Amino acid sequence: MPVAPDHEPLLRLLHAGAPASALRRLLDTHGDAAAAIAAGSRDWASHGLDAETCNAIRRPDAAALAHGLRWLAGDDHHLLGWRDDAYPPLLRRIAAPPAMLFVAGDPGLLWRPAVAVVGSRTATAGGRTNAAQFAEALARAGLCVASGLAAGIDAAAHAAALAAGGATVAVLGTGPDIAYPARNRQLMAQVEAEGALVSEHPPGTQPLRTHFPSRNRILAGLALGTLVVEAALQSGALITARLAADAGREVFALPGSIHNPMARGCHRLLRDGAALVETPGEVIEVLAPLVLDLARALRGSLEASAAVSPVTGVGLLPVDPDTHKLWRAIGHDPTGMDELVERTGLTAAEVSSMLLALELEGRIAAEHGRYSRIGG
């Protein structure tokens, strides 16, 4: 695949070490990375970049850049920038989206309705079996199974989704070319060949402890919901679940014996309000309406970029009566779910899926679980 013209400047910005939030603002201001680089130090500084980062943009590490560009020249290797149309839509909605994503494999899978299936690296045999059974059923139902390619639950979920002929996406805490743990190298190659590997880190990035919580936010952000199969109290899977809840996504947890330490984390989530599930069907039942809304919203945003309704003059005004009712109930002051449920008389599930659609359409903003209109 030929190197897209924006790859070199995107890599140069990333390697300079600016925080993702500053990079996103730069890209939003200038439209693309080349224009952002052309804007110069004063402009970079006004977007919050410090002197060291500005220097690094001006004098990039040539070897690192070359390594990245060589990797991107490989088959099915992609770099999706914040302003690219291919950037995954659900990931745009989280609190701190990555400024760019490296993808090895099929980047179209990042647009598929996904469920994150996560859990302990030191899962029990029963936990791994449950992970495989759920991943298989979810994949067969057409959901993309996302996970973190770690040992234990993650590996079992990816392998089962692949074995079922389903879609799977692995979000890495390393560069897209580094297998971690090393024993998952073969599984990683298979996910790249039949699914997709995703990372916000440039090729060559080694595993660092701090990368994993930030990896988890991408995993949670790509998925409509997160299922925790087995997790100890200190498990990173709990962080993924918390980030999913913070992003307004569904959180599911499997219960287990009170004598299984690997069930403790799931039980904590259940106490905190996660949905208890015993069968994959229960996950699918909750996600199905969200999948429909997602499809409708994505179709809606494509149409919106082409036309504004000649009748209302504001475009995309919700038309079905329930959505209209919800739209009227949402003011410009941030309003919580409970209040919206009360104002509309709709069920929480109905309100929740309509909110997701309105959010994906860019009609409303969600912050700290409260919703408000954007514009009209």
User: Cα–Cα distance between 244 and 147 in angstroms, integer?
Assistant: 13
Our finding on whether 234 is near its own copies (CB under 8 A) is no
Q: Which is nearer to its own copies, 303 or 338 (CB)?
A: 338
User: Cα–Cα distance between 104 and 71 in angstroms, integer?
Assistant: 10
Q: Which is nearer to its own copies, 42 or 271 (CB)?
A: 271
Binding residues for its own copies, how many (CB under 8 A)? Answer: 18
Among 4, 208, 276, 348, indicate the residue that binds its own copies (CB under 8 A). 276
Q: How many CB atoms lie within 10 A of CB 169?
A: 30
Would you give the binding string for its own copies spanning residues 102-121, x where CB under 8 A is met? Answer: --------------------
- Encoded tokens for 202: 């440039």
- Encoded tokens for 195: 């699914």
Would you give the binding string for its own copies spanning residues 294-313, x where CB under 8 A is met? Answer: --------------------
Q: Which is nearer to its own copies, 126 or 204 (CB)?
A: 126
Q: Which is nearer to its own copies, 87 or 252 (CB)?
A: 252
Among 19, 126, 289, 362, indicate the residue that binds its own copies (CB under 8 A). 126
Among 42, 125, 186, 278, indicate the residue that binds its own copies (CB under 8 A). 278
Q: Which alpha helices (DSSP H) does the chain contain, by range?
A: 7-15, 20-30, 33-38, 41-46, 51-58, 62-72, 89-92, 125-140, 153-163, 185-194, 211-222, 236-246, 264-271, 280-306, 321-329, 337-344, 348-360
DSSP state of 319: -
CA 79, 83, 84: angle at the middle one, nearest 5? Answer: 50
Would you give the binding string for its own copies spanning residues 242-271, x where CB under 8 A is met? Answer: ------------xxxxxx---xx--x--xx
- Are the C-beta atoms of residues 131 and 153 closer than 8 Å to each other? yes
Among 53, 120, 130, 199, indicate the residue that binds its own copies (CB under 8 A). 130
Name the pairing type of β-strands 364-367 and 335-336. Answer: unpaired
Q: Which is nearer to its own copies, 64 or 275 (CB)?
A: 275
- Encoded tokens for 277: 């599930």
User: Cα–Cα distance between 221 and 214 in angstroms, integer?
Assistant: 11
Q: Which is nearer to its own copies, 46 or 257 (CB)?
A: 257
The counts of H helices and E strands in the chain are: 17, 12
Would you give the binding string for its own copies spanning residues 328-357, x where CB under 8 A is met? Answer: ------------------------------
Please state the closest distance from residue 227 (CB atom) to its own copies, in A. 12
Please state the closest distance from residue 273 (CB atom) to its own copies, in A. 10
Q: Which is nearer to its own copies, 130 or 205 (CB)?
A: 130
Q: Which is nearer to its own copies, 108 or 345 (CB)?
A: 345
Name 225's bridge partners. Answer: 115, 250
Instruction: Write out the residues near its own copies by the rule CB under 8 A.
Output: 126, 130, 254-259, 263-264, 267, 270-271, 275-279
